[in-house]
Amino acid sequence: MNASPDPTSIDTDAGHRVYTSWSLPLYDLVVHGFSNRFLWNCRTATLQAWFDRHVTDRHLDIGVGTGFFLDRSQRLNSASQITLLDANQNCLNASSKRIARLQPTTVQANLAQPFPSTLRRFRSASLMYVLHCLPGEKSFRGEVIHRVAATLEPGGILFGATILGEPCPKGRLGRRVMASYNRRGIFGNQNDSLDSLQKALSDELRAVEIVTEGSVAMFAGSVS
Ligand SMILES: C[S@@+](CC[C@H](N)C(=O)[O-])C[C@H]1O[C@@H](n2cnc3c(N)ncnc32)[C@H](O)[C@@H]1O
């Protein structure tokens, strides 16, 4: 019998250690300025619109990077309660500074570990460009979605976007970059498909909606 690995034993380091104090300032340009359009064939504006459609005034943002979508969102203001969660302190520092006007709370935590019990009763939680950074075990994605869903109040929305490994990106450069990121552990999405995403989400959420543009799947669903 194939037992699922214990999520706490999965090595997630490569997926978050890449965001150093010198690489993070380049993140917006490389990812949202270039890669979305030219590698993954998804417009950054589409991702921002997805974020804005689902974010609420009591929001848990997981895998914050530079705080790109939070900063640009028209839906948030000083009355919004924003919590930022990330394994990487550089990301927490950069994004909390960027959206200081929203006075966010920060939590350093790894998705492979149980969350602090104080993370509860959010109206929305996002995983924007996070799932594809995690090691590829399907059961691990399910465990992460379960963990995030548990932070939401009844009716709360879990949403996000992820780059799928199947089918491969259309362009040759996209395929080469994705293969290289998977070899280096920066991505773990080689076996991520629409079907596997749908299954992982449907196990935890109701009214699951998935929209694709290029290699990117944008998803949302609510907890009972
Ligand atoms: C590709 S960036 C996405 C940043 C941002 N959400 C965006 O879309 O621009 C992935 C983020 O997830 C974080 N991350 C990756 N693996 C993680 C893990 N195991 N636990 C917590 N955070 C993780 C990284 O540190 C980084 O901030």
User: Ligand 1: distance of its center to the CA of 70 in Å?
Assistant: 14
Query: What whole-number distance in Å separates Cα of residue 124 and Cα of residue 148?
Result: 10
Question: What is the tally of structural domains in the chain?
Answer: 1
| 2 falls within a domain | no
| pLDDT value of position 7 | 61
Domain that holds residue 180: 10-222
| 94 falls within a domain | yes
| 209 falls within a domain | yes
| 177 falls within a domain | yes
| 5 falls within a domain | no
| 102 falls within a domain | yes
| Tens digits of residue pLDDT in 47-92 | 999 999 999 999 999 999 999 999 999 999 999 999 999 999 999 9
108-115: long-range contacts, CB 8 A cutoff, minimum separation 24: 109/85, 110/12, 110/16, 111/12, 111/62, 111/63, 111/87, 111/144, 111/147, 112/7, 112/8, 112/10, 112/12, 112/140, 113/8, 114/147, 115/85, 115/147, 115/150, 115/151
Which residues of 80-183 form beta strands (DSSP E)? 81-86, 105-108, 122-128, 152-163
| 16 falls within a domain | yes
Contact 196, 185 (CB under 8 A): no
Q: Which residues in the chain land under pLDDT 50?
A: 1-3
| 28 falls within a domain | yes
Q: Quick check: CB of 15 below 6 Å from ligand 1?
A: yes
| Tens digits of residue pLDDT in 17-37 | 899 999 999 999 999 999 999
| pLDDT value of position 193 | 96
CATH of the domain at 148: 3.40.50.150
User: Ligand 1: distance of its center to the CA of 120 in Å?
Assistant: 20
Residues sharing a CB contact under 8 Å with residue 155, sequence separation 6 or more, in sequence order: 222, 223
